[in-house]
Chain A
Amino acid sequence: MSATDERLTYMANQIAANFAVMGVEKAALATADHIATFWDPRMKQRIMLALHVDAPAGSPLNEIARRAVERLIELGAPLPQVQATTFGGVDEPGLSDAG
């Protein structure tokens, strides 16, 4: 795994850990939302690829992050917002996330 892949995996796991308090399912959707909203396409592709390369048992992604990436793969990148997080109302004028 390259340094960048390690970095992206770390980032995905970190995001997932901060959403974990929402419960696995909702946290996975929120993590997917976050990645879709803030990551550039190359980063999204790399994290999806990382999941494909690693067997689920040995995946460096934690459960929430893995589910999130699976969600991204399922929907295909780039993703529209799935509205799992209330702050990401990109379809409403004037609403998006700074940061």
Chain B
Amino acid sequence: MAWIGEIDLGTKPARAATQTMVSLSIDGHAIEVPEGTSVMRAAALMGTTIPKLCATDTLEAFGSCRLCLVEIDGRPGYPASCTTPVTPGMVVRTQTDRLKQLRRGVMELYISDHPLDCLTCPANGDCELQDQAGAVGLREVRYGYEGKNHLKVEKDSSNPYFDFDPTKCIVCSRCVRACDEIQGTFALTVDDRGFASAIVPSQKQDFLSSECVSCGACVQACPTSALQEKKVAEIGTPDRAVVTTCAYCGVGCAFRAEMRGEELVRMVPWKEGKANRGHSCVKGRFAWGYAQHRDRILSPMIRESVDQPWREVSWEEAIARTASEFQRIQAKYGTRSVGGITSSRCTNEETYLVQKMVRQGFGNNNVDTCARVCHSPTGYGLKTTFGTSAGTQDFDSVRQSDVILVIGANPTDGHPVFGSRMKQRLREGAKLIVIDPRRVDLVRTPHIVADHHLPLRPGTNVAVLTAMAHVVVTEKLYDEAYIRARCDWDEFMDWADFVAQPERSPEATETLTRVPADELRATARLYATGGRAAIYYGLGVTEHSQGSSTVMAIANLAMATGNVGIEGAGVNPLRGQNNVQGSCDMGSFPHEYPGYRHVADDATRQLFETAWGVDLDPEPGLRINNMLDAATEGEFKALFIQGEDILQSDPNTTHVAAGLAAMECVVVQDLFLNETANYAHIFLPGSTFLEKDGTFTNAERRVQRVRKVMEPKNGYADWEVVQLVARALGLGWTYTHPSEIMDEIAALTPTFARVSYGALEEHGSLQWPATDAAPAGTPTMHIDAFVRGKGHFVVTDYIPTDEKTGPRFPLLLTTGRILSHYNVGAQTRRTDNVAWHPEDRLEIHPVDAEDRGVRDGDWVALRSRAGDTTLRALLTDRVAPGVVYTTFHHPATQANVITTDYSDWATSCPEYKVTAVQVSPSNGPSDWQERYQAHAARSRRIERLGEPAE
């Protein structure tokens, strides 16, 4: 559908790198535009709208609708303005009697096969066909409506979010082109020819069962109501829009929240968004219904113990109880007996306040964040090697890449909007290397085949990367000039000596990694010599016992080949949640203040002591896993958890449950009674991203505004709730708006010094560091020098994980995510996204399945040394024999009952990606699942005022 209130210039801007300007005349007005600009766009830039239907400025010009005809002096006929580039001295007329007549004739034909139900059409007032009929002055249809037509073709309502009504389709191909060019799924096509032409998904399937990934690009591109959001049909067209930032993954897509009154009608990706460039995925575009879901808890609740029902109370009582419990516990067990967990789903400002409350109010550094269990090794590894705990590029950088190496990431599922950008570049010819135990979609997808896929044995990342380094060094493929200029040469030589040893060669490590040596050598050569080479990685790198070593091994390779500090290259962590980067930036880790400065640093600590008016603890605090360890030993007694569900997301669920159960006060601030809340004593209702102001920082260090589009249904934005608790603790905070919190962050954090709400309004977004020289931020880091000075090569020895397969547990389990769900599924399970993924499945190779008598769809028991669960099997050769895979989106499965306590040596990031397991046929849920379900049901009872427990 059209972009309400946004200008569509009809075609894309000129692609030419040189900005040679061309002068021409349109309707007697002189205009100058860049060479390569279409006549349509040139006219639009000077304010003249040429009628159009098949053209839109997000797609390549197509020239099919014949509505945008113009007259050009010296040229025969009536060329389509969308496909005609400007030339010097060109004289164009956009509106003549002949053109009017032609356009009216074209439009007349379109309308002769279109239902005349405008007044009851969902797109009434927001329909380009309707607009263009008006624009060309159509007043009658001479052909009548009795002839052969498409007006009785059945509507496809299979997709939960949008309908496809072929009766309203004009076969302009905008949907097909959007699917091809923007999303890259190629799920749609024009079937048949001539009058029989019809848009069809996949092999004439309905949308839901087709390859369509429901990204919404086709719906957005459709100029009529043929592809229409169900919500628009249900509510009506929106009447206002607020630009905000998606609260799902780390891509950080900018959206227009289109509203009618206080009701959200639809989320439309914003064309000006620098992270997403007008694209979206099924989650951000459609899966926001959780915000209004009946499961949302809107009243604060307390209880004495977790076996009691919840009791609704006033905010005053809940806040007072929270403060008094933490004070009581600290008085009894000591200052360091309590702590807090910040959330990567919350805003920078909220995260900052939680860590401030812990440090200033609790008087210790026991604050950690969910980034502990995802990208803490990124922080450690990139800080160590480059000097900055962040990725090196912006997303636009991929347009310049010649080689793209994806390791331990599944961008088409986990970061789908960036995945589409990556696919665009791959279709243009960039080479692709995928290092992943699974054959992720990117390995073979329409018009893309990976040049190399290394299906390594889980847990051998360091060995594979070191073998690649072996090839780079021994075949002298490294960039000596770059290394000498930018890195410490002696350190490089130490590293080079290490990786060059024969036992680290591809041949020597082949039996260990299961990667054929010749394939690995070819991969290393391509990465080192293929031009600008970019590495993108995800949790398949970090969530290992050597997660930090793997990040450093990646950095070593990038430095050795001169692939840091230039566009199109770099080392790029794909962050799982929307604000992982921000929560880390904001000082959520127990050993450092905002801006990654250690708590033992006297100067930094004094800065915060002066600002906050208290003495601060110079000793690091506890990490999440250590908090739980300490709890089971009776030394850690209270935890404030904002927007994080550690019971479902953290490893070894039984240990997490034991730790939580051992605490005297667990406070959960969340939208829902999540799994952790089953062990909580105080519940503080949370607000959604639609209900508050703030900022998120995405994976490319881009700070973007989150804007309130409706009042918080629970009464308070999350930052206000934390402030109420802080005040009850006697901290005297007086923030009246999140912008004041950001001002405090900027005053105390050098990398955020130029970040303010005013600057964000001015620039749209800011990629830190924003400096005087680069006030809008820094798209590419380490251009002339590394932030730490010289790039630091670190020798990363391969240390095998202690999680071993054996006769009892012969298979390796690795876990991950799926496109339609997000993290623990708390949000997406409460949307129609369950249509695509109603349950977690265990992917198992057919050979392994046959060995165990397991058929597709069978229930199977999945057992590890940590625990067991049951789920249904999905037979696929996407996983190699010996490897099984599942997601952790559904609490009924509790995949983390299986995962173990093994973790990254440097950061304690859990080793989710390697668990030795056994799979066997099963008849029903495990004992744990039955016990847990009973406990969860008991724990979720609520006594509402004047009512018995539910």
Residues of A within 8 A of B (CB): 2-4, 7, 11, 14-15, 17-18, 20-22, 34, 37-43, 78, 80-81, 86-87, 90-91, 93-99
Contact = CB atoms under 8 A, between A and B. Distances in A.
Interface string B786-801: 0010001001010100
Nearest to B618: A78
Interface in B764-806: 788, 792, 795, 797, 799
B598 A14 contact: no
Given A4-B629, A78-B618, A87 B598 contact: no
User: Which one of A11, A14, A17, A96 has the highest number of Cβ atoms from chain B below 10 Å of its Cβ?
Assistant: A96
A98 B365 CA distance: 14
B622 interface: yes
B546 A42 contact: no
B880 interface: no
B383 interface: yes
Given A80-B600, A94-B595, A99-B380, A18 B619 contact: no
Contacts of A4: 629-630, 632-633
B622 A15 contact: no
Contact of B629 (A7, A81, A90, A97): A7
15 contacts: A4-B629, A7-B901, A14-B799, A18-B546, A18-B797, A40-B590, A86-B792, A90-B598, A91-B601, A96-B591, A96-B597, A98-B379, A98-B589, A99-B380, A99-B589
Contacts of A17: 799, 905
Nearest to A78: B619
Contacts of A22: 795
B548 interface: yes
A96 B545 CA distance: 22
B654 to A, nearest CB: 13
B388 to A, nearest CB: 9
A14 B619 CA distance: 22
B387 interface: yes
Interface in B567-622: 584, 589-592, 595-598, 600-601, 603-604, 618-622
B720 interface: no
A99 B655 CA distance: 22
A21 B498 contact: yes
B620 A40 contact: yes
Nearest to B591: A38
B377 interface: yes
Given A4-B633, A18-B797, A39-B620, A96 B592 contact: yes
A42 B633 CA distance: 12
Contacts of B622: 40, 42-43
Contacts of B591: 37-38, 96-97
B328 to A, nearest CB: 21
Q: Which 9 A-B pairs have the closest CB atoms?
A: A98-B379, A99-B380, A96-B598, A98-B389, A99-B907, A87-B384, A90-B598, A21-B797, A14-B905
Contact of A97 (B384, B604, B621, B633): B384
A20 B797 CA distance: 8
Given A17-B905, A93-B603, A98 B596 contact: yes
B629 A3 contact: yes
Contacts of A40: 336, 365-366, 590, 619-622, 626
A92 to B, nearest CB: 8
B376 interface: yes
B522 interface: no
Contacts of B621: 40
Given A2-B633, A98-B389, A87 B750 contact: no
Contacts of A95: 387, 597, 788
User: Which one of B377, B589, B596, B600 has the highest number of Cβ atoms from chain A below 10 Å of its Cβ?
Assistant: B600
B745 to A, nearest CB: 15
A1 to B, nearest CB: 12
Contacts of B797: 18, 20-21
B906 interface: yes
Nearest to B365: A40
Nearest to B799: A17
A42 B379 CA distance: 24
A81 B599 CA distance: 12
Contacts of A41: 336, 619
A96 B596 contact: yes
A79 to B, nearest CB: 9
Contacts of A87: 383-384, 792
Contact of B632 (A3, A21, A81): A3
Nearest to A15: B905
A81 B620 CA distance: 13
B597 A94 contact: yes
A99 B619 contact: no
A79 B545 CA distance: 26
B626 A94 contact: no
A34 B549 CA distance: 14
B928 to A, nearest CB: 20
Contact of A18 (B549, B590, B750, B908): B549
A18 B792 CA distance: 17
Given A42-B635, A98-B376, A98-B592, 9 more contacts: A3-B632, A4-B633, A14-B905, A18-B905, A38-B620, A42-B336, A93-B750, A97-B596, A98-B596
B377 to A, nearest CB: 7
Contacts of A21: 498, 795, 797
Contact of B601 (A39, A86, A96): A96
A36 B366 CA distance: 16
A50 B481 CA distance: 49
User: Which one of B498, B592, B795, B907 has the highest number of Cβ atoms from chain A below 10 Å of its Cβ?
Assistant: B592
Contacts of B548: 99
Contacts of B596: 94, 96-98
A97 B597 CA distance: 8
A3 B601 CA distance: 32
Nearest to B627: A40
A14 B545 CA distance: 9
A69 B387 CA distance: 28
Interface string B613-652: 0000011111000100110110100000000000000000
